[in-house]
Amino acid sequence: MLPGGTVGLIGGGQLGRMFAIAARRMGYRVHTLEPAPDSPAGQISDREISAAYDDLEKLGEFARGVDVVTFEFENISSAALEHVAPLRPVRPRPEVLHICQNRAREKEFLQRHGFPVAGHRVVESAAEAAAEAAAMGFPCVLKTADFGYDGKGQSKLGSAADASEAWTRLGAPRAVLEEWVDFRCEISVVCARDASGRVESFPPSENLHRNHILYRSVAPARVDPSIAREAELLAVRIARALDVVGLLAVEFFVRRDGSLVINELAPRPHNSGHFTFDACATSQFEQQLRAVCGLPLGSPRLLTPAVMVNLLGDAWADGEPDWAALLSDPDVKLHLYGKSEVRPGRKMGHFCVLKPTVEEAVQAAAEAEARLFGRAETLHRA
């Protein structure tokens, strides 16, 4: 589908917003379907349909008005995509979403194809969770099987007594109990695959979380080159096994011995890939567009080291942040998502710092954050 065509986007969040910016820049029209009006992606789109993701009538109307359909997050029904698929091509295909939006199915897929995952059990009651956790050993982690992101729907268990409370808090009929992984750091790889099977992967980023939400990403990841190569190879192999057309993000734990364990998959743009918008020859969002529209993939080459820092709603606790102070460093790039409601923990934007070396970028990001919030703060390596 050449420029001038119309891309249909299900989901109106910040990932969709940056995708729409990439699409508009390349001459495409964008239609967004999102329950909440005036969404971040809707603000950039040619048309925004405000409807529930399971509103089949509106989905049909939406699909008939576009040439191809993609999505920006997993918390939509794969059945909704199945409804759209006979009307327009859906990329990635609905089955990919079906696998990746459920932890039990995702881990079964990875295990069946020989990819490294942590030991785990699928449990269906608090009693079963307690018994399996005792057999597995503590600590371990209980995660809801369906949906869940940014640390939502998961609890660390320190003893069998924790299982009952954690199960109630999850409020789900099934969960996945995982062994605790003693890791040195977390990294992720975003790769793109087109319909012909060609795959391009971005360099791994090193990720630090606070309260289960991504705080910052450092690119390239500060790991041994052999680990970085292995992570990229695994991501490419998984994209091929899933038959993805579009993007796939793969999150890894790097164990103390340097071995990799796959944590989660996401068949769409990823927060840890935001650095690509400013620091790569082709961003993850343009790459998604190229893949779903059948164009040749762009170069994922990293042009300069970068650090991305998320800006959560907490940053507005004392009023509007001091953007001028943040931007006093000309190598800082600010991205705000156009969200009208500020809430603690809500992703409102991010900034990227571009420098000649990783060390300089990490230090400059710390200084930029200190200026923004008027305090001395140092970023520490995970």
Residue 107 lies in a domain: no
Residue 378 lies in a domain: no
The per-residue pLDDT for 72 is: 96
Residue 102 lies in a domain: no
Residue 254 lies in a domain: yes
Percent of the chain with pLDDT over 90: 90
Which of these three, 69, 90, 111, is where a domain ends?
90
Q: Rg of the chain over CA atoms, in angstroms? A: 20
* CATH number for the domain that contains residue 267: 3.30.470.20
Section 170-180 average pLDDT: 92
DSSP string, 71-103: ES-S-S-HHHHHHHTTTS-BSS-HHHHHHHTBH
* CATH number for the domain that contains residue 20: 3.40.50.20
Residue 105 lies in a domain: no
The per-residue pLDDT for 212 is: 87
With cut-offs at 50, 70 and 90, classify the pLDDT of residue 380: very low
Tally of structural domains, the chain: 3
Same-domain pairing of 325 and 237: yes
Model confidence pLDDT, tens digit, residues 274-285: 999 999 999 999
Section 242-258 average pLDDT: 98
Give Cα 234 distance to the centre of its chain: 17
Section 304-330 average pLDDT: 96
Same-domain pairing of 43 and 71: yes
Same-domain pairing of 306 and 289: yes
Q: Which long-range contacts (CB under 8 A, 24 or more apart) does 260-263 make?
A: 260/116, 260/227, 260/230, 260/231, 260/234, 261/116, 261/117, 261/118, 261/181, 261/183, 262/110, 262/115, 262/116, 262/117, 262/234, 262/238, 263/118, 263/186
Residue 103 lies in a domain: no
Which of these three, 179, 198, 229, is where a domain ends?
179
The per-residue pLDDT for 373 is: 87
Q: Is the pLDDT of residue 376 over 50?
A: no
Q: What are the backbone dihedrals phi and psi of residue 101, each rounded to the nearest 5 degrees, phi first?
A: -90, 0
Same-domain pairing of 141 and 33: no
Q: Is the pLDDT of residue 302 over 50?
A: yes
Residue 314 lies in a domain: yes
Q: Is the pLDDT of residue 29 over 50?
A: yes
Same-domain pairing of 246 and 326: yes
Same-domain pairing of 68 and 169: no
Q: Is the pLDDT of residue 208 over 50?
A: yes
Same-domain pairing of 148 and 284: no
Predicted structure pTM score: 0.95
Same-domain pairing of 230 and 337: yes
Which of these three, 90, 111, 128, is where a domain ends?
90
Same-domain pairing of 33 and 169: no
The per-residue pLDDT for 7 is: 98
Residue 13 sits in which domain range?
Answer: 6-90
Integer Cα distance of 122 and 178 in angstroms:
9
Model confidence pLDDT, tens digit, residues 51-70: 999 999 999 999 999 999 99
The per-residue pLDDT for 150 is: 61
Same-domain pairing of 216 and 259: yes
Same-domain pairing of 133 and 76: no
* CATH number for the domain that contains residue 173: 3.30.1490.20
Decide: helix, strand or coil at residue 42. coil
Same-domain pairing of 37 and 123: no
Q: Is the pLDDT of residue 134 over 90?
A: yes
Residue 325 lies in a domain: yes
